[in-house]
Amino acid sequence: MRFIKNVKILIVGLGLMGGSYAEALTDFGYEVGGLARRQEVIDYALNKGLIRHGRISADREYIGQFDIIVFALYPHVFIQWLEDYQEYIKSGALLTDVTGVKGSVVYKVQQLLRKDLEFIAAHPMAGRETSGIESATKEIFRGANYIVTPTDKNTAEAIESCKELGRVLGFKNIMELSPEEHDEMIGFLSQLTHCIAVSLMVCKDSRHLVSYTGDSFRDLTRIARINENMWSELFLLNKDELLKQMDLFSEKFGELRNYIEKDDIEGMKEMMRLSTERRGYFNE
Amino acid sequence: MRFIKNVKILIVGLGLMGGSYAEALTDFGYEVGGLARRQEVIDYALNKGLIRHGRISADREYIGQFDIIVFALYPHVFIQWLEDYQEYIKSGALLTDVTGVKGSVVYKVQQLLRKDLEFIAAHPMAGRETSGIESATKEIFRGANYIVTPTDKNTAEAIESCKELGRVLGFKNIMELSPEEHDEMIGFLSQLTHCIAVSLMVCKDSRHLVSYTGDSFRDLTRIARINENMWSELFLLNKDELLKQMDLFSEKFGELRNYIEKDDIEGMKEMMRLSTERRGYFNE
């Protein structure tokens, strides 16, 4: 078991997710370092006690001291970083990430990685509508899901260490899926729902509707406040799966529209009974 | 001002909404009677102290004693009831309703009504995912909106009395719209959102997804638990407006799909920035 008390952990990228990881791991007792692009981010993290030390440039000696490295970067930045700086990493170190799509990232990373390093992918299914280290808090992990997506290149020890990391961070459920299963699931549960929320929100300049709005519209559009840089990248990295899920939704929405247009009250009711039954599985 | 302490109020239909009205009005000090189809509903309402007395059939003498009558019935049942029993109502009584669509109901009711009665339409925008008097509670009105939809047949006094009723029930916002404005607003904010939730929920037999589900999917499908009898009727009573709103949504959803398919990252970001800005109006 690699994930023991005296390891040193480096967080690369101190945004909402990296900052929240840093807080949870520091509070648990680890020595946590941080890499960020701007000094004020490092200063903020130091002042808040999220990290013990940090750097704004990839320093060979600094990076070389860590046993575990968590990449909390945009996917394309993550891959670029590895290409540029993986030579600085200590032999035998364990690498993991927080990326919201897996198939288009995991295999690429494992292929370009030095053979004496291991990358085990994970997706912490947590977040907030606001971004940046100022929004970071380990509270976002409470009650949330943490999914490890190993490939046949991963060792049992690394998989177990990654799950242990999820437990240390405070996630409620620690699960394992293949990258492909993960991407299908996330395409439906997360990306499609964000597409729906965004589309609904841009239908109208809804300012005049605010005072009439009950819970339904608010619930459906809460996630329409969205980090456009991150999500547009994630959508394209899971494009085929997402388009499939969008088309499935459009088909069902079109069916319902058809029932309404044709006054097919039985068709409507049938669909509503099914939706009521299935929503029942999810009762909080 | 007609809505004074010593009036007697009859609630016709003791379901979720009628029962909740009864509780709020009784607690406020009014003498509230109830009409329901089944004796166990009357018994339940009496036992819980929601009403002071009740009947299971439309009795001329009983009905004739009330100054204000609230119809908490399905729209087609409401209109049928008036056709059958309006002759029993005391001259000068004020009638109101809770119906979720207005244009297709209000004018019809005002036209068929005796000239010595006044009907002022209202839509209490409150509800729960469960129905029936067992779910009734005046708590559903807290923080919610109450919309009065007068026509040129209504007197200023009746409009004011109806607003006063909303205040007594405990609604947060009391507003006034024309039936047409109301139906457009409700078609978009409420009916379209329910169509989206139902369509999303029936996409898959999602039982295997429950453990991976974060807040997004739960938020978007909360209202997919739906009373199929009531909502299918409401959808058809607002069919033209609802189809218009569904088509608007489909258009935007299709635009986003197109951006994704064509790797048009700027198109996506533009849409997400707009959705983020507009969702900002609704910040709780």
Secondary structure (DSSP) of A29-61: T-EEEEE-SSHHHHHHHHHTTS-SEEESS--HH
Say if A159 is an interface residue toward chain B (CB within 8 Å).
no
Task: Give the sheet arrangement for strand B68-71, strand by strand.
Answer: B53-55, B31-35, B8-12, B68-71, B94-97, B118-119
pLDDT at position A1 over 60: no
Cβ contact, residue pair A193, B281, below 8 Å: no
Measured distance CA(B252)–CA(B278) in Å, rounded: 15
Average pLDDT over chain A reads: 94
Looking at the complex, report in whole angstroms how far the Cα of residue B61 sits from the nearest Cα belonging to chain A. 38
A24 by DSSP, 3-state: which? helix
pLDDT digits (tens, 9 = 90+) for A46-56: 999 999 999 99
| Sign of the four-CA dihedral A66, A69, A74, A75 | positive
DSSP assignment string, A74-110: -HHHHHHHHHHHGGGSPTT-EEEE--S--HHHHHHHH
Mean pLDDT confidence for A61-82 = 96
Measured distance CA(B141)–CA(A216) in Å, rounded: 15
In the numeric block, the tokens 């799950």 are attached to A163
pLDDT digits (tens, 9 = 90+) for B100-136: 999 999 999 999 999 999 999 999 998 877 789 999 9
Query: How many Cβ atoms are within 10 Å of B149's Cβ, its own excluded?
Result: 27
The percentage of chain A sitting over the pLDDT mark of 70, rounded to a whole number, equals 98
Query: Are A120 and A95 spatial neighbours (Cβ–Cβ below 8 Å)?
Result: yes
- Domain architecture of chain A: domains with CATH: 8-177 (3.40.50.720), 182-280 (1.10.3660.10)
Which chain B residues are Cβ-neighbours of A144 within 8 angstroms?
Answer: 214
| Residue A143 Cα distances to A2, A132, A147, A174, A186, angstroms | 25, 21, 13, 11, 18
- CA B23 vs. chain centroid, Å, equals 17
Rg for chain A (alpha carbons), in Å?
21
The percentage of chain B sitting over the pLDDT mark of 90, rounded to a whole number, equals 90
pLDDT digits (tens, 9 = 90+) for A8-38: 999 999 999 999 999 999 999 999 999 999 9
Which chain A residues are Cβ-neighbours of B206 within 8 angstroms?
Answer: 278, 281-282
A217, A230, A214: which is closest to A132 by C-alpha? Answer: A230
Of A175, A190, A254, the CB nearest to B216: A190
Q: Where are the beta strands (DSSP E) in chain B?
A: 8-12, 31-35, 53-55, 68-71, 94-97, 118-119, 122-125, 145-148, 173-176
Which chain A residues are Cβ-neighbours of B210 within 8 angstroms?
Answer: 281-282
Say if B229 is an interface residue toward chain A (CB within 8 Å).
yes
Ramachandran sector of residue B126 (left: φ over 0; alpha: ψ -120 to 50; beta: rest): beta
Query: Are B80 and B25 spatial neighbours (Cβ–Cβ below 8 Å)?
Result: no
Looking at the complex, report in whole angstroms how far the Cα of residue A169 sits from the nearest Cα belonging to chain B. 17
Say if B224 is an interface residue toward chain A (CB within 8 Å).
yes
Cβ contact, residue pair A279, B207, below 8 Å: no
The percentage of chain A sitting over the pLDDT mark of 90, rounded to a whole number, equals 90
Cβ contact, residue pair B194, A216, below 8 Å: yes
Say if B262 is an interface residue toward chain A (CB within 8 Å).
no
pLDDT digits (tens, 9 = 90+) for B178-207: 999 999 999 999 999 999 999 999 999 988
Residues of chain B below pLDDT 70: 1-5, 284
Q: What is the structure's pLDDT at B3?
A: 54
Q: Which residues of A229-255 are buried (b: 16+ CB within 10 A; e: fewer)?
A: ebbbbbbbbbbebbeebbebbbebbeb
Measured distance CA(B211)–CA(B220) in Å, rounded: 16
B210 by DSSP, 3-state: which? helix
Which chain B residues are Cβ-neighbours of A233 within 8 angstroms?
Answer: 265
pLDDT at position A2 over 60: no
Cβ contact, residue pair B253, A195, below 8 Å: yes
B174 by DSSP, 3-state: which? strand
Cβ contact, residue pair A265, B236, below 8 Å: yes
Looking at the complex, report in whole angstroms how far the Cα of residue A249 sits from the nearest Cα belonging to chain B. 6
* Packed helices A156-169 and A16-28: angle between N→C axes, nearest 10 degrees: 90
Side chain identity at B35, as an amino acid letter? L
B74 by DSSP, 3-state: which? coil
Q: Which residues of A125-154 are buried (b: 16+ CB within 10 A; e: fewer)?
A: bbbbeebebebbebebbeebbbbbbbeeeb
Measured distance CA(B131)–CA(B133) in Å, rounded: 7
Looking at the complex, report in whole angstroms how far the Cα of residue A85 sits from the nearest Cα belonging to chain B. 28
Query: Are B190 and A236 spatial neighbours (Cβ–Cβ below 8 Å)?
Result: no
Tokens of A194: 């964000």
Say if A172 is an interface residue toward chain B (CB within 8 Å).
no
Say if B269 is an interface residue toward chain A (CB within 8 Å).
yes
Cβ contact, residue pair B188, A201, below 8 Å: no
pLDDT at position A3 over 60: no
Q: Are strands B53-55 and B31-35 parallel, antiparallel or unpaired?
A: parallel
Side chain identity at B7, as an amino acid letter? V
Which residue out of A141, A172, A198 would a mutagenesis test of the B interface target, given it has the greatest number of B Cβ atoms within 10 Å?
Answer: A198
In the numeric block, the tokens 């494992």 are attached to A110
Q: Are strands A145-148 and A122-125 parallel, antiparallel or unpaired?
A: antiparallel
Cβ contact, residue pair A228, B198, below 8 Å: no
Say if A196 is an interface residue toward chain B (CB within 8 Å).
yes
Which chain A residues are Cβ-neighbours of B204 within 8 angstroms?
Answer: 188, 248
Query: Are A51 and A22 spatial neighbours (Cβ–Cβ below 8 Å)?
Result: yes
- Neighbouring-strand partners of residue B55: B35
Q: Where are the alpha helices (DSSP H) in chain A?
A: 16-28, 39-47, 60-63, 75-85, 103-112, 156-169, 179-186, 193-201, 215-221, 228-237, 239-261, 265-280
CB pairs under 8 A between A and B: 269
Which chain B residues are Cβ-neighbours of A269 within 8 angstroms?
Answer: 228-229, 232
Q: What is the structure's pLDDT at B1?
A: 41
Cβ contact, residue pair B257, A246, below 8 Å: yes
Q: What is the structure's pLDDT at B209?
A: 85
Cβ contact, residue pair A203, B248, below 8 Å: yes
Band of residue A152 on the pLDDT scale cut at 50, 70, 90: very high
A262, A217, A263: which is closest to B188 by C-alpha? Answer: A217
Task: ipTM value, please give it.
Answer: 0.88
Residue of chain B whose Cα is closest to the Cα of A257: B243
Q: What is the structure's pLDDT at B213?
A: 80
Residue of chain A whose Cα is closest to the Cα of B181: A209
pLDDT digits (tens, 9 = 90+) for A221-279: 999 999 999 999 999 999 999 999 999 999 999 999 999 999 999 999 999 999 999 99
Band of residue A209 on the pLDDT scale cut at 50, 70, 90: confident
Cβ contact, residue pair A257, B276, below 8 Å: no
A121 by DSSP, 3-state: which? coil
Of A210, A221, A276, the CB nearest to B225: A276
Q: What is the structure's pLDDT at A207?
A: 86
Measured distance CA(A143)–CA(A145) in Å, rounded: 7
pLDDT at position A5 over 70: no
Q: How many CA atoms lie within 13 A of B161 on its CB side?
A: 24
Say if A235 is an interface residue toward chain B (CB within 8 Å).
yes
Query: Are B268 and B258 spatial neighbours (Cβ–Cβ below 8 Å)?
Result: no
